[in-house]
Structure 1
Amino acid sequence: MKRQRPATSEMPDPLPTGTPQVRAGGLPDREQLRAFIENATGRIGKREISREFGLGPEHKQALRQMLRDMALDGTLAPAGARRFRVSDRLPESMVVQVTGTDSDGDPIARPVQWDGEGSAPVVFMHPELRGRAALAPGERVVARLRRIGPGKYEGRTLRRLTDAPMQVVGLFRTLDATDPMASAPARYRPAGTLTPADRRTKAQWVIPMGEDADTPDNEIVIATPLPQSGPGLHPARIIERLGPQGDARTISMIAVAMLGIPHVFPSEALAQAKAARGVTAQGRTDLRDMPLVTIDGADARDFDDAVYAEPDGDGFRMTVAIADVAWYVRPNSALDREARLRGNSVYFPDRVIPMLPEDLSNGWCSLRPGEDRGCIFVNMDVAADGAISNARFGRGIMRSAARLTYEQVQAARDGAPDEIIAGLPDGLLDSLFGAWRCLSAARALRGTLDLELPERLVRLGDHGQIAAIQPRIRLDSHRLVEEFMIAANVAAARCLEGRHLPCLYRIHAPPTPERLESLRRTLDTMGLKLPPVGSLRAADLDHVLRQVRNTDQAGLVNELILRAQNQAEYSPEPVGHFGLSLAAYAHFTSPIRRYADLLTHRALLVAIGLESGPAPSHDELEEAGLAITRTERRAAQAERETLERYAATWLQARVGTVMDAHVSSLSRFGIFTVLDATGTSALLPMSALPEDQWHHDEKTQTLGGRDTTMVFRPGQALRVRIEEACAIRGTVLLALPDTPPSHRRRRT
């Protein structure tokens, strides 16, 4: 099982933080364009804009760049392929999902697709017309929307989506004697209740007798709604059992089911993977005498990248070899269609949902030691100052000299090599670390954003129980591999650019002015300063990080700067990578687990003349970029929510325990904290604070009491008691140690 490398490994020519206005003949300026999109009916694309402003083919490139710039700086938001909308408003109509009801019993919904900042807007749905069944929690409809306030809309149902039954994932509990429904007449008595795993809905479901599929108590299930004939809880039928709540191996399947992550391969794709065979040396560069090594986590089973370096004057000659996935996954094949659908592998503590079947991901596309494997490689010269030159790509056959772990390599560097390391050619590790030092020097000179975010590792016992939740240590050996991969990714982007071939870039836009201003206000309260927005570079943010390194503020400041960042995405536009301070960057090094890398491999093979075929169009790459950006974010959400559920499960057995935490942010309804032991986000609600008049000051980022003189601020250390932990939803509520258990005061 191979963990995804952290996003911070993508960090190294800074991007301009101000977006220049694009002018070309009759092209509108940004304000004119924004006003048109905001006031137009429906979703607007390039065709509608060109028609409105009378633009011709000569304006196509400039318009495309303007739309991309406005999307990256937050002015516009994507609304489907080649469509845009003003980012602070929802479109006139869209698909929403009912999450619960208000105090009057009317349904409340949220957008199904939400790529904006913060929480998705709330949609207050009008009651259904007379004669139509009421909307049930979890149901999806196409709604006509009207904005009624910031983050608030009213909606009217245009069309109910009934082409596939809506599913509810949750915890099934049989009735016990204390439940009021247990005393109902037998004909009305249900088999049990269902608590949804979706924390956004407060709806409770009831499972009628005969609809429980003989499910035992405390089981995680998937259910589908049944028709409702009257008031009361919504009825549902259990259609699949995922496993008992107490089994930690069930937890990851909650996110898989809720987010609709494909996890069963079609038979045709499995057959193609099973029919795969090893490559021969014909038509390939023979690298089998080069002592390439893989360096991965101890629990990895697929090894898709190998590295080598040797001294060359004052610098080094280095090679990065990547599994030749493109040899096996041909365009438009069953394997290709499934890989694109999945977009990427998804990693959980107990399992991996792979992008490719195991016959490939752990077999022919895994660079196992001592076995011949096909690869795509790049040779690069690295100067003493870290400058890279003479990058040369090829298709090869290799034989890994060793499968190494990060811990092995680090121990050898620290003077304790084991037998495997000792059996490698003399000086190999010294050359690898020497090349890394050159690349690191260039990175420091460039000025990149190097966030230090603690990653938590969930360790499971032999029987699926949670043995421990520990920090994952980041070693120099991790950084070595990251820098080699970054160098190869840069070389791939430059190769395609140099041959004027289309490329799916990995882009990371600078933070928006609004986010930077919010960050500036918070950092000011901590005595930390940022330069003016228009001149800010990644190096300026990294300077702040270095100021707080090894202090109590370090964790919070890293979190704050991370929140201010835009999310990275895939695009055919060479916008650049702000965090890495790179003008052009493309993913190339992990085609086993990322579809974007496979597309880069195919483009490179055409670029170096080893394969032929039409290059994908700009629009095709744009659609592919949108699709795999969505699957990447879906995977990140699944991994994050699963870790939260693991942590909540672990904390359930520790309710009442006092732990250390620190304040991460403040709001009018509570204090958001991070538990030091687990890295878990948890809420200290206002109702758990001492009786007082509490005031949230957004300017100073403090929450203060009038009578108690207590003040809470970001970064502040706290001692908290675990008051409640809900494993199915992954939520944790806290209290202060000196308040009695279950104490609740009147809200102020």
Structure 2
Amino acid sequence: HYADDSREHFEISDDPRLASESWNEQISLLCNYEGAKLLMEEQAHREIQPVFRVHEPPNAERLKKFSRLLNRLIDAHGLSREVWVWRWRDGSYGDQETIAHYLRRLPRDAETDAVRRAITHQAQMLNNASVFTAVPGPHHSLKLDGYARFSSPMREVAGIFTHKEILEFCTCGDVPPAAVEDDLALREQVIEAANRARSVQKKLTKAVYKLAIDDLFEADLAQPLDARPERMGTVYGVRPSRVYVRLDEPAIDVKLYADALEAEHDTQLTMERSQAVLSSPDDGLRFVVGARLRLRVVRYDSPQERWILQPRTD
């Protein structure tokens, strides 16, 4: 939010979630589930053109990569395999340990908190994007066989359309249904718009975060290099081209860019097959998922619109 009435600077803060918000979320989920059940029961009627929200589970290959990453993290951080290993075998996910159960049983202590948070983030990255469709399908995250949008209907066009369909069916003619052919065509437009909205929202969120990060780091850059604050963070992920870091305060995600690090240190970074470690040949630079480090602003790379940060792990 804005730091003051001038609306020129931002203040980034974590707002605690109210209990009423959690309760409202559960009510919302129940409404959406019950609405989906009604749509599935009545979808054989030509008067109903349902829209469902489907969330497919991650495939076996992605789960295998996640398991491999966990095993490497356990070794890299010297953790107990008995405690930290995910009890999953290749190609099967049914009655074995779910990711949710695995995350719930991980230790909650200060010593391993950074590793646990990084693992939780990696688990979240496994999720496929949910999509709106004309046919029902599973919702993996909620463990439901059908899900639709009924709560907060004015927030997205899919909710408006599902309300219209249910009203036409349940009011016994008080709300006259539209022509089936017209509704079928409209439903296709609704599904396309609802799925496109996710991409638009992602772009808007990214733009807002950039404004906030720019405001934060511009203040750092205005100071002499030695006087700039060092911000603590945790490595949440690595790729051949970058390192993803979640700062402690404020809790925002920033990146270290491999090409900038390689140029500064005259080295080459290589990512392990486990996707848990990005390092130079002599280990002069070494980034392990779950590791702690300090970051300081060095400069702003205007041509590529990115901040160059200096990592310190000592």
- Give the TM-score category using the shorter length: 0.7 to 0.9
2:162 pairs with 1:600: yes
Aligned to 1:636: 202
User: Structure 1 pair 695/682, CA: closer, same or farther in 2 (3 Å)?
Assistant: closer
Structure 2 match to 1:64: none
Amino acid in the other structure paired with 2:176: S
- Equivalent of 2:187 in 610, 621, 627: 621
- Residue 118 of structure 2 is matched in structure 1 by 556
1:556/1:602 Cα in 2 relative to 1: closer, same or farther (>3 Å)?
A: same
- Structure with bigger gyration radius: 1
Do residues 503 (structure 1) and 65 (structure 2) align?
Answer: no
Matches within 5 A, 1:344-383: none
Structure 1 residue aligned with 2:22: 479
Note if contact 1:692-1:707 (Cα within 8 Å) is conserved in structure 2. no
C-alpha separation in 2, matches of 1:472 and 1:514 = 37
Correspondent of 2:245 among 659, 662, 673: 673
Output the CA distance in 2 between the equivalents of 1:661 and 1:688: 23
Cα drift, residue 732 of structure 1: 2.4
- Match of residue 683, structure 1, among 256, 269, 273: 256
Q: Secondary structure at the match of 1:665?
A: strand
Answer whether contact 1:576 1:584 (CA < 8 A) is retained: yes
Corresponding pairs, count: 282
Corresponding position of 1:519:
66
1:571 deviates by 0.6
Counting helix residues as a fraction of each chain, which structure ranks higher? Answer: 2
Choose 721-730 or 558-567, whichever is displaced more.
721-730
In 1, the alpha carbon distance for the partners of 2:194 and 2:41 equals 25
1:629/1:703 CA distance change after superposition, 3 Å: same
Deviations 1:381-414 (CA, angstroms, capped at 9, x unpaired): xxxxxxxxxxxxxxxxxxxxxxxxxxxxxxxxxx
Distance change >3 Å, CA 627–CA 474, structure 1 → 2: same
Q: Tell me if 1:583 matches 2:148.
A: no
Q: CA deviation at 1:477?
A: 2.4
Cα distance in 1, alignment partners of residues 305 and 146 from structure 2: 38
CA distance in 2 between counterparts of 1:535 and 1:706 reads 36
Query: 5+ residue gaps in structure 1?
Result: 1-457, 740-748
- Name 1:734's counterpart in structure 2: 309
Q: Does the aligned pair in 2 maintain the 1:652–1:727 contact within 8 Å?
A: no
Q: Contact (CA 8 Å) 2:234, 2:290: kept in 1 or not?
A: yes
Which of 529, 538, 552 aligns to 2:86? It is: 529
What's the CA shift for 1:738? 9.0
Aligned residue identity for 2:146: A
Give 3-state SS (helix, strand or coil) of 2:50's partner: coil
Q: How does 1:302-451 map to 2 (within 5 A)?
A: none
Indicate if the aligned counterparts of 1:692 and 1:705 stay in contact, CA closer than 8 A: yes
The TM-score, its normalising length taken from structure 2, stands at 0.78
1:659 to 197, 219, 231: 231
Aligned in 2, Cα 1:641/1:711: closer, same or farther, shift over 3 Å?
A: same
Percentage identity across paired residues of the two chains: 20
State the SS of the aligned residue for 1:698: coil
The TM-score with structure 1 as length reference comes to 0.35
Q: Which moved more, 1:530-539 or 1:474-483?
A: 530-539
Residue type of the alignment partner of 2:211: R
> What is the match of residue 645 of structure 1?
211
Write the mapping of 1:695-714 to structure 2, written as runs, cut at 5 A.
695-699=270-274, 701-708=276-283, 711-714=286-289
CA 737–622 in structure 1, closer or farther in 2 if over 3 Å, else same = same
Please state how far the C-alpha of 1:495 moved relative to its aligned partner: 1.7
> Which whole-Å CA distance do the structure 2 matches of 1:647 and 1:606 have between them?
48
Per-residue CA distance 1:696-735 (angstroms, 9 max, x = gap): 2223622234435653211111011112346997632211
When structure 1 is superposed on structure 2, of 596-605 and 699-708 the one drifting more is 699-708
Q: Is the 8 A contact 1:504 1:600 kept in 2?
A: yes
Retained in 2: the 8 A contact 1:647–1:680?
A: no
Higher strand share: 1
User: Would you say the 8 A contact 2:293–2:313 is kept in 1?
Assistant: no
3-state secondary structure, aligned to 1:715 = coil
Alignment of 1:108-147 (within 5 A): none
Q: Which runs of 5+ in 2 are unaligned?
A: 75-84, 222-227
What is the CA–CA distance in structure 2 between the aligned matches of 1:700 and 1:596, rounded to whole Å? 37
- What code does the residue aligned with 2:199 have? R
